[in-house]
Structure 1
Amino acid sequence: MVVSNGTHKTTQVSSSTLDDDSKEKRGLGAYIYNSWVLNIYDIWVLGISNSYAWRCPTSSVLLPFFKANFSSNHLDVGVGTGYFLAEAVLDQPATPNADKHGAQQITLVDLNPNCLSTAAARINAAQPTLAPARTVAGDAFESLPLDSSNGSVGDEGTGKEKFDSISLFYLLHCLPGPCSDKARIFENLKTHLAANGTLYGATILGRGGNVHFNWFASALMVLGKGKKDVKFAVERFNQYNKPQWSQDFNKTTNTMSAKVDPTDFKTYHGGCHCGAFKYAIRIPELKDVMACSCSICIKNGILGNIWFLDDGPEEFIIEKGDVDALKKYVFGPKNKVYRFCGICGTNIFVKSPEAIGVNARSLADVDVEALPWRHYENFKRGPQYAPEFGEQVEWKKPEGKAEKNDEDDLVTYYGNCHCGKIRYALRSKSLDELEVMQCNCSMCGKNSHRHIYPTRTALQVHDPEGVATEYNVLSKDSAQNFCSYCGTFVFVSIDDESVDMRPLNVRTIDNIDIYKLKYKMYDGRSKPPVYTGERHKL
């Protein structure tokens, strides 16, 4: 057994394509890991074999070693069942006011889609509030599709995405070919390692030198036809020793880690503000939430999408309304569908091909603002998002407006809803000088509105298609205006023209960091009328 996290001198190998026979063997080796093999992998490989054949126990040697080098920006190559990662994220507790730049990000690379989905689900089950692990189908012998499209820090002009830690556990001995060929892996991964990063792992050595085997290890060597290759032992065990209990075990989803018991799940209720759509979810106890800084989460006030897989043990139960009645919004690669209420604008959940992410702010029986937050810098994962529609509008000075000496102190800000169909220009004092109102009333709480109060002429709104939908909360004389296309709340309209005010949701202002603004808290929740889960009758 070799365990190493030191500095490696990588043997340079030819950049020519490796022979097709070797590539085919790698593919066949990877696809041995079907659902049955993955179900017994932890017991047979990490439990029995490690303890009694290789005499390198997982719990006392390998797992502490993995955790000691695990970072907040981690790449795992050859993911297996995701055991080490699931255990490692349990040691990453969420803390209030966590540094958003230290958010946990995990990328998984493997040739086998079964391993990728199993590992990703296991990590999610261990820490449901973490951002979902990114899965990449790739061959470690070849250049990985991990390019930095936004010039992330540390790429040094190479165009390669960088990681602070990269792990290869039990991968090398499963690959065909001599060590000189396998050195190609280190050549590839070195391009993805940050300047002060760590590449570490564990593998099983063949015979020779100071390597000595006990009878159990020798038997496994025979099963492996002279190579210390665990997959052969697992395959033989699969072929000749498949017990009856495995048929029952296969009925259990792979999404749960051993530490998560569905009988311990809690039920949370939620819905939109107007009450047209209500739901319940059964998930592990919600102890923290993920705060994502991507464009849609910032503009639409989405907090802590609670992700779980369609085929997992978690449940999403519709209690009122119809999913098909909710508005749909897609953007960018259009691989996720965001659902929001067309009446009140509440963002409820996002659906990917295999999973659902529930907006924690739409929950009714949890004060998510009081929970610890895990900050997640999703915008670093790809190019900066640009609105699909419209163009920036310029602020125009109203005709007949008198000159004022303080005009030079004003700043012009631009903003829009997420899709860009509603745009505006704002003349205001610097946001650094203003206090932003953060209210905890039922409406602001579900949508995380954060308001400043410019005059009507200072905030010039352009909505050429008339996509703004008005939602009256406490009065018929004022309404929250959200985009009916993308679900972003932009401003508040006030019918009484004697009130020279047009409140603006600062989330929609371009090129600002909402976490750095000064906020004034307002306890709207304690003011009548009491919110009952449905809109107050006006």
Structure 2
Amino acid sequence: MSATPEEIRAGQAIYTPKTLAVYDLIVLGLSNRFIWKCPTARLLAHYNRSVSGNHLDVGVGTGYFLDRCRFPTPRPRVALMDLNGDALSFASRRIARYEPEVYARNVLEEIAFEGARFDSVGVNYLLHCLPGDMATKARAFDFLMPLMNPGAVVFGATLLQGGVARGWAARHLMAFYNSKGVFSNTQDDLETLTGELEKRFSRVSIETVGCAALFSARR
């Protein structure tokens, strides 16, 4: 099952300058705690456990976690990768102190990249916005692996429909977002996510918090 260009655009089109300006409040402040039942502090702690001083962030959002996380070095190499130019601009301004590299790329196709490889890759809240079933989304890992050094970690979180605890509000908000093309996670479940990661990586760790799966995997 392949994703069409229209489906790919739909998943990231909502991130405009206006929505990015309120994203931290609505998603990280309210939805994470009260709807998805995965407080943003848990996601930040997940970043702090996995992020390296040579890091690529994919699906950058507002750059909140890169702004708040504790890099293990005072002058980390940080790169941003997204298909959405507004998100790249917003996040790069927010973490301008790190002088981030910026790449406009589609992670569901082969990634043109000639720079040095990375020791960590963050894909936070990316998979549930990518179109297709989990096997289709997981191709993003195949395209990102050539950008990773041996022993590098890929980590992040995604909102699932199966194998996690979903309350009434989470079920209805997910259905609404899927109907608008913002989410594409109707077929996403914990078992399939685990299987796709274990096909590609030697060490996989997954923790569920509310309806979010927090994962990390090493080559």
Task: Specify the TM-score bucket, using the shorter chain as the normaliser.
Answer: 0.7 to 0.9
Name the structure 1 match of 2:159: 204
Query: Which one of the candidate residues 79, 84, 97 is aligned to 2:60?
Result: 79
1:214 Cα deviation from its structure 2 partner = 1.3
Name the structure 1 match of 2:26: 44
Question: Does residue 162 in structure 1 map to residue 144 in structure 2?
Answer: no
* Partners of 2:44 and 2:50 in 1: CA distance: 10
Task: Please give the root-mean-square deviation of Cα atoms over the aligned residues, in Å.
Answer: 2.3
Q: CA contact under 8 A between 2:11 and 2:182: conserved in structure 1?
A: no
Q: CA contact under 8 A between 2:126 and 2:158: conserved in structure 1?
A: yes
The superposition leaves residues 424-470 of structure 1 with CA deviations (integer Å, 9 ceiling, x where unpaired) of: xxxxxxxxxxxxxxxxxxxxxxxxxxxxxxxxxxxxxxxxxxxxxxx
CA gap of 1:105–1:228, structure 2 versus 1, over 3 A, is same
1:78 Cα deviation from its structure 2 partner = 0.3
Name the structure 1 match of 2:69: 88
Aligned residue runs from structure 1 range 249-398, under 5 A: none
Structure 1 segments of 4+ aligned residues over 6 angstroms from their partners: none
Q: CA contact under 8 A between 1:165 and 1:198: conserved in structure 2?
A: yes
CA gap of 1:228–1:25, structure 2 versus 1, over 3 A, is closer
> Any idea what SS the aligned residue of 1:191 has?
helix
Name the structure 2 match of 1:224: 177
Q: CA contact under 8 A between 1:173 and 1:228: conserved in structure 2?
A: no
1:144 Cα deviation from its structure 2 partner = 1.7
Structure 2 gaps, min length 5: 185-219
1:88 Cα deviation from its structure 2 partner = 1.8
Matched AA of 1:215 = W
The superposition leaves residues 302-345 of structure 1 with CA deviations (integer Å, 9 ceiling, x where unpaired) of: xxxxxxxxxxxxxxxxxxxxxxxxxxxxxxxxxxxxxxxxxxxx
| Structure (1 or 2) with the larger CA radius of gyration | 1
Name the structure 1 match of 2:44: 63
1:143 Cα deviation from its structure 2 partner = 1.7
* Partners of 1:93 and 1:200 in 2: CA distance: 19
* Partners of 1:215 and 1:28 in 2: CA distance: 25
Q: CA contact under 8 A between 2:7 and 2:131: conserved in structure 1?
A: yes
1:46 Cα deviation from its structure 2 partner = 1.1
Count residues in correspondence: 184
* Partners of 1:93 and 1:166 in 2: CA distance: 16
1:105 Cα deviation from its structure 2 partner = 0.5
Q: CA contact under 8 A between 1:205 and 1:228: conserved in structure 2?
A: no
* Partners of 2:175 and 2:7 in 1: CA distance: 20
The superposition leaves residues 13-47 of structure 1 with CA deviations (integer Å, 9 ceiling, x where unpaired) of: 9xxxx56xx22221232222101110111111111
CA gap of 1:35–1:63, structure 2 versus 1, over 3 A, is same
* Partners of 1:145 and 1:74 in 2: CA distance: 17
Question: Does residue 138 in structure 1 map to residue 120 in structure 2?
Answer: no
Q: CA contact under 8 A between 2:63 and 2:95: conserved in structure 1?
A: yes
Question: Does residue 214 in structure 1 map to residue 167 in structure 2?
Answer: yes
Query: Which one of the candidate residues 174, 177, 184 is aligned to 2:132?
Result: 177
1:172 Cα deviation from its structure 2 partner = 0.5
Q: CA contact under 8 A between 2:57 and 2:79: conserved in structure 1?
A: yes
The superposition leaves residues 471-502 of structure 1 with CA deviations (integer Å, 9 ceiling, x where unpaired) of: xxxxxxxxxxxxxxxxxxxxxxxxxxxxxxxx
* Partners of 1:24 and 1:227 in 2: CA distance: 13
Structure 1 gaps, min length 5: 1-12, 95-102, 149-160, 232-538
Name the structure 2 match of 1:154: none
* Partners of 1:36 and 1:230 in 2: CA distance: 19
Question: Does residue 24 in structure 1 map to residue 6 in structure 2?
Answer: yes
1:225 Cα deviation from its structure 2 partner = 4.1
1:72 Cα deviation from its structure 2 partner = 0.8
CA gap of 1:106–1:27, structure 2 versus 1, over 3 A, is same
1:229 Cα deviation from its structure 2 partner = 5.1
Name the structure 1 match of 2:93: 121
Query: Which one of the candidate residues 63, 70, 76 is aligned to 1:104?
Result: 76
How high is the TM-score relative to the length of structure 2? 0.77
Q: CA contact under 8 A between 2:11 and 2:183: conserved in structure 1?
A: no
Q: CA contact under 8 A between 1:221 and 1:229: conserved in structure 2?
A: no
Q: CA contact under 8 A between 1:108 and 1:136: conserved in structure 2?
A: yes
Name the structure 2 match of 1:302: none
CA gap of 1:197–1:69, structure 2 versus 1, over 3 A, is same
Query: Which one of the candidate residues 15, 35, 38 is aligned to 2:17?
Result: 35
CA gap of 1:189–1:106, structure 2 versus 1, over 3 A, is same
* Partners of 1:139 and 1:175 in 2: CA distance: 10
> Any idea what SS the aligned residue of 1:224 has?
helix
Matched AA of 1:182 = K
The superposition leaves residues 369-412 of structure 1 with CA deviations (integer Å, 9 ceiling, x where unpaired) of: xxxxxxxxxxxxxxxxxxxxxxxxxxxxxxxxxxxxxxxxxxxx
Q: CA contact under 8 A between 2:29 and 2:40: conserved in structure 1?
A: yes
* Partners of 1:113 and 1:56 in 2: CA distance: 28
1:224 Cα deviation from its structure 2 partner = 2.3
**Identity, % of aligned pairs?**
38
* Partners of 1:204 and 1:217 in 2: CA distance: 10
Q: CA contact under 8 A between 1:220 and 1:228: conserved in structure 2?
A: no
Matched AA of 1:169 = N
The superposition leaves residues 58-88 of structure 1 with CA deviations (integer Å, 9 ceiling, x where unpaired) of: 11x1001111111111001000000000112
